[in-house]
Amino acid sequence: MSEYYWDNKIEYLRKTRGLYYNDDYLQFLVQSVWKITNPVSIIDYGCGFGYLGLKLLPLLPEGSSYTGVDKGEELIKEARETFSKVSFQTEFIACDIEQLDVEEKYDIAVSHAFLLHMNNSEVILQKMIESVKDQGKVIGFEPHWIGNMANCHLDGVEQSHVVKLGVLQKLFENDYKRTGKDGNIGIRLPIRMSQLGLQNVECRMSDKVNFLDQNMDMESKSALFGSLREEGFGEEPGDSDESIDNLVNRELQPEEAREQYEAELTFSKRFNQESWLTFAPSMKISFGTVQRA
């Protein structure tokens, strides 16, 4: 197995991407918001197995091209295999994006749930800007974790017993200060884009609300439940002492750590395939235009 973490998470990526967007909303972005009417060349930073390419290429004008870049050699291998079965113009590059030197030649640079994993996200964002032609676009599909958790409802329990928003907010902020990796980058990204010189910056929010409905057909219910579990919903927190120590090491107070552990434990006991649950990931989609002097 590859030593690169995400090379070993291909199934996770495949099973969870569908939680974030409805296909018609992506079509709305391409056609009504970005108004892409001519063929474009896209570079995808942290492309994984090419998820965005699979979603966007069928919506783009004929003649558009897609270049995916990722550090994961297994991910790039999977992407090449997947796209060998379709007729789109694609290229995939396995490399360390932090060391990547890209020419200013693309119409659009995108990332999807990638910048949050970088401890130098502004450096990567600057690379994205530098790879785009004048009047091209930079687009970031990035999460807002505390917003995600606020948009989750498990029927039959007090939400404050299973989702400790105040503790989670502090935990995410502490992680960002300690590591530079920002799970809430989606809500900050419009500001960063404008500060780095992008023009006409806007931000949208994904429309998908996942509803685990006990009246839906069994196949659909099982698939959605599996995706939610893969995303971490109802995951058992493990040994109490070890879990609490880990949270304390992430700079929570012991009482806060125990509260968070108890919340995760309660969620794991109450969430199952027979639960009623709604979850709106509210992915933030920020974009701006490159205008060179």
239-249: average pLDDT: 97
99-126: average pLDDT: 94
Asked if the structure places residue 217 within a domain, the reply is no
Cα distance between residue 74 and residue 11, in whole Å: 12
Asked if the structure places residue 152 within a domain, the reply is no
Structure tokens at 99: 């060391």
Asked if the structure places residue 117 within a domain, the reply is yes
Cα distance between residue 232 and residue 168, in whole Å: 15
88: pLDDT strictly greater than 70: yes
Can you give the pLDDT at residue 103?
84
Asked if the structure places residue 176 within a domain, the reply is no
pTM of the model: 0.95
Can you give the pLDDT at residue 36?
98
Which of the four pLDDT bands, split at 50, 70 and 90, describes residue 2? low
Beta bridge partners of 205: 284
Which of the four pLDDT bands, split at 50, 70 and 90, describes residue 173? very high
User: Can you give the C-alpha Rg of the chain in angstroms?
Assistant: 20
Cα distance between residue 157 and residue 261, in whole Å: 16
Can you give the pLDDT at residue 101?
87
Name the burial class of residue 134, with classes exposed (0-12), middle (13-18) and buried (19+) by CB atoms within 10 angstroms of its CB: exposed
Please give the residue range of the domain that contains residue 108. Answer: 5-144+183-209+280-289
Contact between 168 and 146 (Cβ < 8 Å): yes
Contact between 82 and 55 (Cβ < 8 Å): no
Total count of domains within the chain:
1
1: pLDDT strictly greater than 60: no
Can you give the pLDDT at residue 8?
94
Asked if the structure places residue 220 within a domain, the reply is no
Cα distance between residue 253 and residue 167, in whole Å: 10
119: pLDDT strictly greater than 70: yes
Asked if the structure places residue 273 within a domain, the reply is no
Which of the four pLDDT bands, split at 50, 70 and 90, describes residue 293? confident
Distant-in-sequence, close-in-space partners of 89: CB < 8 Å, separation ≥ 6 = 63, 64, 65, 66
109-121: average pLDDT: 95
CATH value at residue 122: 3.40.50.150
Asked if the structure places residue 44 within a domain, the reply is yes
Which of the four pLDDT bands, split at 50, 70 and 90, describes residue 224? very high
Structure tokens at 209: 């609300």
Residue-averaged pLDDT of the chain: 96
Name the burial class of residue 175, with classes exposed (0-12), middle (13-18) and buried (19+) by CB atoms within 10 angstroms of its CB: middle
Can you give the pLDDT at residue 104?
84
Query: C-alpha distances in angstroms, 181 versus 39, 63, 75, 178?
Result: 34, 36, 21, 8
Can you give the pLDDT at residue 274?
97
137-144: average pLDDT: 97
Asked if the structure places residue 45 within a domain, the reply is yes
